[in-house]
Amino acid sequence: MNDSLWPFFFEVNLIQRKALRERTVFVTVEEDGRSHWVDHSGRFTRRGGFGGIEFGPGEQVLHTRGGRSLSPEEEEAEKREFTVEVELRPDEFGPIRELVDRIGKPWISGWSGADSDACHRLLEAVYWKHVNRFMHEPFDPTDA
């Protein structure tokens, strides 16, 4: 087992067709099967103004909301508010772990389109089963 493979990061993109809405969720999977799902789209379109991430002086990352920089406390509060924690069951984690162990991290070893699609399908199934209902403005599962 290559410990440097964990934690594993992946971006899941979902589309709600009738409502023409998209959602980007950043997923972190730990080696023990814990996962953290950050509702990136919900976080950056929440009330209080559109948010974003910008590079400030010295390549410092600045989180903004409504045209102003967030304090470190506000940034952490938003991350907590828009993060869902899920303990993956062995039948959910096993195929993900096998894929990562076999191929490595996409940004280091490069993945084929088929490998990325397979990982996306596995994580999307977890999303619909455990995560969607806790998201900011959950999607209608019948419209995905």
pTM, to two decimals:
0.79
pLDDT band at 108 (very low <50, low <70, confident <90, very high): low
Q: How do residues 97-106 score in pLDDT, each as one tens digit? A: 999 988 887 6
Q: Which of 10-14, 23-27, 76-80, 127-131 has the lowest mean pLDDT?
A: 76-80
Output 65-70 pairs: Cβ under 8 A, ≥24 positions apart.
Answer: none
Q: What residue ranges do the domains of the chain occupy?
A: 3-46+82-143
User: What CA–CA distance (Å, rounded) separates 51 from 124?
Assistant: 25
What's the average model confidence in pLDDT over 68-93?
90
Which neighbouring-strand residues pair with 68?
65
Write the DSSP assignment of 98-137 as a string of letters: HHHHHH--HHHH---HHHHHHHHHHHHHHIIIIIGGGSSS
